[in-house]
Amino acid sequence: MVQIAEDRPPYVTFEVRAEEDRQASIEAGHFVAKDVDYALITPMGSKDRIERPATEWFAKLDQDTAEGRFPRQWLEGFKAGYKAWKEGREAPVDGTPIENWPVASPAQIKTLQSLHVRSVEDMANANEEVLGRIGMGGRALKQKAIDWLASSKDAGKVSEELGRLRSENDNLKARNDSLEAQLKQLSAKVDALGEPKSRKL
């Protein structure tokens, strides 16, 4: 049995195949083909591939998701990928694309892509089968992915905090400018009134 990384979705691509439309063939008296979309599902790091007609596969996933046996986020990701494929676009990657990861060398990236490790998150969650296929340095690469994601998360928090402080600073500056303007207006009014005239005795 193939071990898969349970917290990362499998790698899914789609293709269209010509299959016989049996009813139409009977009616026409000769072979009649129809286009059928297929989902090709490969668990990350595995050589095994499951092939299912896309319509049937999505119907099964919808049922499994409704009954809590399949993550809704994965289903939405697969549907987005299918939509992109139908429109002639590349399917979106769930996470940081592996080719944009500065830690890995070009050779390592090529190896990971061949194993359907498409994101840094995939690498961080790689199971023993994936690490075995990567070979020497696989475990170290996994740890680098974990560390890189953790540092990115921390950097994101720092960036968010800096943004909040900048916003607060901008608000305080605007308030200070407003108070200074009000003070100038009051000073001008006081100056306009002038000093009271002294009475003649």
Residue 193, in any domain of the structure: no
| Domain-ending residue, one of 92, 123, 152 | 92
Residue 51, in any domain of the structure: yes
Q: Which residue has the tokens 């297929």?
A: 38
Range of the domain at 166: 95-188
Q: What pLDDT, on the 0 to 100 scale, is given for residue 196?
A: 56
Number of structural domains the chain divides into:
2
| Domain-ending residue, one of 69, 92, 115 | 92
Residue 198, in any domain of the structure: no
d(CA 16, CA 55): 12
Same domain, yes or no: 88 and 167: no
| Domain-ending residue, one of 92, 115, 140 | 92
Same domain, yes or no: 79 and 108: no
Task: Single out the residue of 16, 8, 50, 7 nearest to residue 34, CA to CA.
Answer: 16
Taking 90 as the threshold, does the pLDDT of residue 11 lie above it? Answer: no
Same domain, yes or no: 160 and 131: yes
Residue 195, in any domain of the structure: no
Share of the chain above pLDDT 70, in %: 85
- Give 114's pLDDT tier (boundaries 50, 70, 90): confident
d(CA 59, CA 138): 37
d(CA 77, CA 93): 9
Residue 2, in any domain of the structure: yes
Strand partners, 40: 13, 51
Half-sphere exposure of 100 (CA within 13 A, CB side): 7
Degrees (nearest 5) of the Cα angle 104, 44, 83?
Answer: 100
Residues 65-91: what's their mean pLDDT? 88
The tens digit of pLDDT for each residue in 26-65 reads: 988 888 888 999 999 988 777 788 999 999 999 999 999 9
d(CA 51, CA 57): 9
The tens digit of pLDDT for each residue in 116-174 reads: 888 899 899 888 888 888 888 889 999 999 999 888 776 545 555 666 677 777 777 87
